[in-house]
Amino acid sequence: MNAFFSPNKDTEYPKHQQTTRQNFLKALERHLSSHSLSTSGPYVIGNKITYADLVVYQVCHDENLTQDGRQGLKEFPRLVKLVDAVEGRENVKRFLASSEYKG
Protein backbone atom coordinates (compact mmCIF):
# COMPACT_ATOMS: atom_id res chain seq x y z
CA MET A 1 0.00 0.00 0.00
CA ASN A 2 2.72 2.46 0.94
CA ALA A 3 4.64 1.89 -2.29
CA PHE A 4 1.52 2.04 -4.46
CA PHE A 5 0.22 5.26 -2.93
CA SER A 6 3.63 6.85 -2.48
CA PRO A 7 4.22 10.29 -4.03
CA ASN A 8 7.19 8.52 -5.66
CA LYS A 9 5.10 5.62 -6.95
CA ASP A 10 7.05 5.41 -10.20
CA THR A 11 10.18 4.41 -8.30
CA GLU A 12 8.80 2.95 -5.07
CA TYR A 13 6.29 0.51 -6.55
CA PRO A 14 8.77 -1.22 -8.90
CA LYS A 15 11.14 -1.61 -5.93
CA HIS A 16 8.29 -3.12 -3.92
CA GLN A 17 7.52 -5.56 -6.76
CA GLN A 18 11.11 -6.78 -6.82
CA THR A 19 11.74 -6.96 -3.07
CA THR A 20 8.91 -6.88 -0.55
CA ARG A 21 6.35 -8.56 -2.81
CA GLN A 22 8.76 -11.32 -3.83
CA ASN A 23 9.64 -12.03 -0.19
CA PHE A 24 5.96 -12.17 0.73
CA LEU A 25 5.14 -14.52 -2.16
CA LYS A 26 8.08 -16.80 -1.31
CA ALA A 27 6.93 -17.04 2.30
CA LEU A 28 3.36 -17.87 1.26
CA GLU A 29 4.56 -20.46 -1.25
CA ARG A 30 6.84 -22.05 1.35
CA HIS A 31 4.04 -22.28 3.91
CA LEU A 32 1.45 -23.58 1.47
CA SER A 33 3.89 -26.17 0.13
CA SER A 34 5.07 -27.48 3.49
CA HIS A 35 2.28 -27.29 6.05
CA SER A 36 0.38 -30.59 6.34
CA LEU A 37 -3.08 -29.01 6.12
CA SER A 38 -2.13 -26.78 3.20
CA THR A 39 -0.75 -29.66 1.17
CA SER A 40 -3.96 -31.68 1.53
CA GLY A 41 -5.98 -29.44 -0.80
CA PRO A 42 -5.97 -26.20 -2.75
CA TYR A 43 -6.74 -23.90 0.17
CA VAL A 44 -4.76 -22.69 3.18
CA ILE A 45 -6.24 -25.43 5.36
CA GLY A 46 -6.72 -28.05 2.68
CA ASN A 47 -10.09 -28.60 1.05
CA LYS A 48 -12.10 -26.07 3.03
CA ILE A 49 -12.10 -22.44 1.91
CA THR A 50 -11.64 -19.83 4.62
CA TYR A 51 -11.37 -16.08 4.87
CA ALA A 52 -7.58 -16.47 4.69
CA ASP A 53 -7.89 -17.87 1.16
CA LEU A 54 -9.91 -14.87 0.06
CA VAL A 55 -7.35 -12.50 1.60
CA VAL A 56 -4.44 -14.24 -0.16
CA TYR A 57 -6.41 -14.22 -3.41
CA GLN A 58 -7.26 -10.53 -3.05
CA VAL A 59 -3.61 -9.62 -2.45
CA CYS A 60 -2.56 -11.58 -5.55
CA HIS A 61 -5.36 -9.99 -7.57
CA ASP A 62 -4.60 -6.46 -6.39
CA GLU A 63 -0.95 -6.96 -7.28
CA ASN A 64 -2.06 -7.98 -10.82
CA LEU A 65 -0.69 -11.49 -10.34
CA THR A 66 -3.90 -13.32 -11.29
CA GLN A 67 -4.11 -11.88 -14.80
CA ASP A 68 -2.19 -12.69 -18.00
CA GLY A 69 -2.20 -16.43 -17.47
CA ARG A 70 -0.82 -16.05 -13.95
CA GLN A 71 2.54 -14.86 -15.32
CA GLY A 72 3.27 -13.01 -12.08
CA LEU A 73 2.92 -16.28 -10.18
CA LYS A 74 4.88 -18.56 -12.50
CA GLU A 75 7.50 -19.16 -9.77
CA PHE A 76 4.80 -20.01 -7.23
CA PRO A 77 2.80 -23.09 -8.33
CA ARG A 78 1.14 -23.58 -4.97
CA LEU A 79 -0.21 -20.02 -5.02
CA VAL A 80 -1.49 -20.65 -8.55
CA LYS A 81 -3.36 -23.67 -7.22
CA LEU A 82 -5.01 -21.50 -4.54
CA VAL A 83 -5.86 -18.72 -7.01
CA ASP A 84 -7.34 -21.24 -9.46
CA ALA A 85 -9.41 -22.83 -6.70
CA VAL A 86 -10.81 -19.49 -5.52
CA GLU A 87 -11.60 -18.36 -9.07
CA GLY A 88 -13.16 -21.75 -9.77
CA ARG A 89 -15.83 -21.29 -7.13
CA GLU A 90 -19.21 -20.62 -8.76
CA ASN A 91 -20.00 -17.33 -7.04
CA VAL A 92 -16.50 -15.96 -7.61
CA LYS A 93 -16.52 -17.10 -11.24
CA ARG A 94 -19.91 -15.48 -11.78
CA PHE A 95 -18.78 -12.21 -10.18
CA LEU A 96 -15.55 -12.03 -12.20
CA ALA A 97 -17.60 -12.54 -15.38
CA SER A 98 -20.18 -9.90 -14.40
CA SER A 99 -20.52 -6.32 -15.56
CA GLU A 100 -20.20 -5.26 -11.89
CA TYR A 101 -16.59 -6.45 -11.79
CA LYS A 102 -14.22 -3.63 -12.62
CA GLY A 103 -10.94 -5.61 -12.45
Supply the pLDDT for residue 75: 95
Supply the pLDDT for residue 17: 79
Extents of the domains making up the chain: 9-96
Of the pLDDT bands very low, low, confident and very high (cuts 50, 70, 90), residue 21 is confident
80/31 Cα distance (integer angstroms): 14
Of the pLDDT bands very low, low, confident and very high (cuts 50, 70, 90), residue 26 is very high
Mean pLDDT value of segment 29-38: 95
Coil, strand, or helix at residue 35? coil
Count Cβ atoms below 10 Å from residue 49 Cβ, excluding itself: 19
Supply the pLDDT for residue 42: 97
pTM for this one? 0.86
* Residue 103 reports pLDDT greater than 70: no
CATH architecture of 9-96: Up-down Bundle (1.20)
The DSSP line for 21-72 is HHHHHHHHHHHHHHSTTGGGSSBTTBSS--HHHHHHHHHHHHTT-SSGGGGG
